[in-house]
Every structure is written in C-alpha cells, then in structure tokens.
Structure 1
Amino acid sequence: MKLEIKNISKTFDEKMVLNNFSMEIEKGECVGLIGPNGAGKSTLIKIISDIMFPNNGEVLLNGVKVSKLKEEIGYLPQYPNFFHWMTAKETLMFMGQLSGLKKEGLLAAIPEILAKVGLKDDENSKVSIFSGGMKQRLGIAQALLHKPSLLIMDEPVSALDPVGRREVLNLIKEIKKDTTILLSTHILSDAEEICERFIIIKNGIKVEDAPITELLKRNSNNQIQLTITANDLNWLDTVRSLPYVENVEMIGHKVKIKVKSIEKNKNKLLESALMHDVNLTHFEMYSETLEDIFLKLVVQK
C-alpha cells in the first residue's frame, strides 16, 4: 500500500502549519516523522488519517484518495481514549463494531490480536487497572483490529515510563515485519532503533528525507571528538589555523574537529596537542548521532 502526500498545506487562524508538504512511503517501509514541537507532525498525521482536512493538496493510497480507503489505515493517537469501565475485550468489540466489523468476525479476531500485543491474559480485565504501557498496547490492538495495510502512530511512547516504552518498542518491531508504518516521535533514540528512514519537518516544511544509513554517512565524515581542560582552550586558536582542519566546534570542554582526512590527519592533530602540552582527557573518532543531525537541521539553522 503506497502512501503519497502531495503538496499539503494547512492553516489555523491564518497561521501556516503545513506548507506545500509532500512525501511518499512505499509498502513495507517503517518511516520516522520527526521534528520539534509545533512543527506540524500531529496535524500531518491527522490529515493522512482523514481526521482533518487540508486547505490544499491531497493524500493518496495506491493512487486513490485516502477518504475512499480509510479501512486500510490503522491510527494510534498519542493518548488513546478508552472507557475505563470496559474490559479489554469489550473495548475492542466496541471499537470494531464502530468501524463496521461484524460481531462474529470480532469474536474470532480479538483473542488473536490481544495475544499479539501481549494482553492475552488480560482480555477480561477492566481498562481502569491497566498501566500506561498496557493502555498503549491496547491502543495498538484497536489500530490493528481491521488488519490495515498502513499503521500510523502519533508519539506512541512519549508518555510512558522506561518499562512501558520498552514493551511498546518491542511490539512495534514485531508489527513492522508485515505492516507499513509511519511513526511520529520526538524521542530520537527510540526512532533510530525502529525506523530505517526519516523525514524531518520544521515549521511545516520538509527539511530532510533519507534513510538513516545515508543520514549518518553524510554527516559523520572525518570528525574527531576530544576533551580538554579550561587551561588549554587557547590551543584551539592554533587548531583552527592548521591547513588540514575544516571546522572546530566547542561544546563545554568537548571539542569536535572536522579534518580533511581522518587517516592522514588524526595523528597530526594528536602531535599538535602533545607539542603544546595540552591535557587531553578524551580523544576518539566521532560519528554523529541522529540527535546531532536533528539539532543541526531544526535548531541551528
């Protein structure tokens, strides 16, 4: 099920929240949609899910308007809202019938889906006693109940404690084996663990769209990270003047230095430090993380 988002724009009270936004997701992909708060992630997800309508543009599934294929989409909001007096089984029965599924089919499907999300032994327990992680897993169960081709999740782990987060992350890893996923999150370490491709959004505009391997390769060449003491900060003026140094970035006592060639220049840089009697407490080849790239794209520009 191919998802195409074409030139979507959305305004609220004359404020542009999404500005001519386009992207595509191929069948079988697990894509992370990341951006700072207010970037337009949740608005975009609601438009894709046909919960909200854009001012301009269109959303297509296999070339058909999403409004005509809503049954192919599973949607998990950031805060799933359930009736606490219902049991897990009753919740899924209620949600399934609202979606137009027949009772007979639901009676067969609900035990299977509860087992898949790790709630097999809790089908007759009331939602009121569920932990945050259990509620989120129940939310995933209702999103998967009608066997959608595309699963859309809005901040699925941001409100959970570490145990709940790990439960849900492991579940998503299993689900993505046979379901296309679009996942919005601001917890970048979790996104990096799950997603193979990232779309970065800022102020309603797409600023990056690439596989994680390409992002890391493109942004991690020829960098060295070292830690020095406050007494050695003057040495950085010398470093900046070295012909093989392209950039010096200082964060506290940590220094990131980009050189023309790691293999040719790392020893020269170390020799310079020793020559100037610099007290090096840390020296390593540095590879940027997804968080580094994210901050560079959405904060430092």
Structure 2
Amino acid sequence: MAPFHVEEMVDGIAGEVRAHRAGGPGLTTAEGVRLLRLLVRAAFDDHGLPVTVAGDVATDGQGRQYSLLTVLEAARAADLAGEDWGAVVAAEVAELVRELTGPSALERLPAEELLGRLHPLVVDAATLPFPEAAAHAPFVAPGFHEFLAVDAPQGTRTLSRADEERLGDPVALRFQARNNLRGLLIERHEVVRDQDGTRFDVVSGSSVFTAGRMTYLDDLVDELTGLPLGPEGAVFAFPSRYQLAFHAIRGRSLYPSLAALARWARTRYAEVPDGLSPHLHWWLPGEVIRLTDYQDGEYVLRIAHEFKAVLEGLEATPGR
C-alpha cells in the first residue's frame, strides 16, 4: 500500500489540509494515506514549489527530485507516538528544500565520513520515476533494487550513478555499505513459534535500512540462529523497510512456517502506508525467487520448479 501513487489537485484544498495538520485520521488508514500525500504537496506549495509525486520521490517543475524517505520516517514515528505528524511533514519538506538550495551532504561531508554513512536501501522498481533511474542499482529481489544511500544528518539520500563514480568504485562502495549495515545494532529480534511447528525470525526497527539486511541473509541467519544456512536456503519476506522475516529451511517445519510467514507478510504490508512487498521470497546464494502471486484478489503460492524439488526432498528424507 504505497502512499504516493494517485495524484489529486492541491489547489483549493491546501487550506483544508493545513487545518487538519493537528490531529486527523491515523496514518495507517486509507484517509490518513490520502492526507499524507496531500500534506506533502501542500508543504512544497508553501515554498513555491508545486510538485508531482510518484513512489518515494517528489519532482518539481524544473525536474529536480526530492527523496521522501525522511518524510515517511518522520510521519510514521510521529503517528506511532500519537503526535501531530502533519506538522512533522511540513518541517521535513522544509529541510528537503533547504538541502536542495545549499550544498548537499554528498558535497559537504568528507569522503571518509560519507563512506561510513553508506547503507544498502531496498527500493521498489514500480515507485521509480523512470526505469533508467535504477540502471546502476542491481536487483536484490524480483522488482526491487538495491540502492546505495547516505544516512546524512539532513536525512537519507540515494546515490545516483554519477554520485557513485565520484565517491569511488561502485563494487567497493556496495561492499562498504553492506559492511556498515552489518555493524548497525539490530533493534529488535523475535522468534515466532507455534505448536504446529511454525518457526520464523523477525528483525525490525526504526531504520529504513532494516529490510536491506536481506543482502547478507546467509550471515544474518547464522548470527541470529547460531546455525549456518543450509543448501535449501531460506524463505523470507520484507513487508516494509522496517521489517525482515525469514525461515531457514532445515526440515518439515517449512510447511507450517510457509503458511504462517505468508499471513504475517500480508498483514504487516497492509498495516503500513509505506509497504514494500506482501510476497514471500526464496533466498539462495546469488539468487532470489518470488514464491507468491496476486491473482483474482487473492495471494497464491507459486511453486517454482527448484522449490518443488526442495519440498520433495524434505518428504523423501526420514527424520526431517
């Protein structure tokens, strides 16, 4: 449920939107999502910058683009705390405009500090203003790109191809970004269990880089479960940038865990306005395969040929 896809006219209703900045519907409701979109556009209007909004990006009349990640983060945090998230949107947009009119973090911070602030950021290809914007960002899962992003004092900024070339070798930068993410504290880790054998791990937190931990899922599994990931890989889900869940495939517990993880992913995706994916994915070294589809209003499991072989192998192995 991405918040920034349907465009509506702001002229004539900006005053009404401002009147709702204190209080109003919750951010996770449909009306709250609509209001958030309008608040963003009205806030840019306040600075004389009418924008169009697609995905996580606002574009003004001169073609300049503004990442809305910090706006989403701040609004989400304020909403969870029961605060006036409308006022937070106005403040965050003002910061974006100031960042554009002055030297950016990429121009202002020393190269060594920028390298220390690099992290992988998962971005939905459907939210990009044009496909070429991700030509330098590899796929981390079907339909999702791994951008490099700088966690600067003024907010999160993704790197363009030109930014990467100025900063260093793109391969080395990606290696640095993933290592930086490994060094970040895991804010929350919980294990979901049930008597039917269900077991999956959930990593969550306030960082927009949380879902990016899928880029080193094999090491993450080892770190959190104490066991290395086996040749069958893991099933995982990333309903938002703030959540990543996985089930390491080690036996017949895959069957109940698969269904439970699918329900968890759909529920969590529907709960947030800045969702990434409601689908299940299968992680193997060097490859990610999506396991679910949305057909006729329902989510259905799509058993890839390779995954079917894993299921058959579990059935044929005694004791697993």
TM-score greater than 0.5 by the shorter chain = no
- Higher-strand-fraction structure: 1
More relative contact order, 1 or 2 (CA 8 Å, 6+ apart): 1
Structure 1-normalised TM-score?
A: 0.30
Structure 2-normalised TM-score?
A: 0.29
Structure of higher CA gyration radius: 1
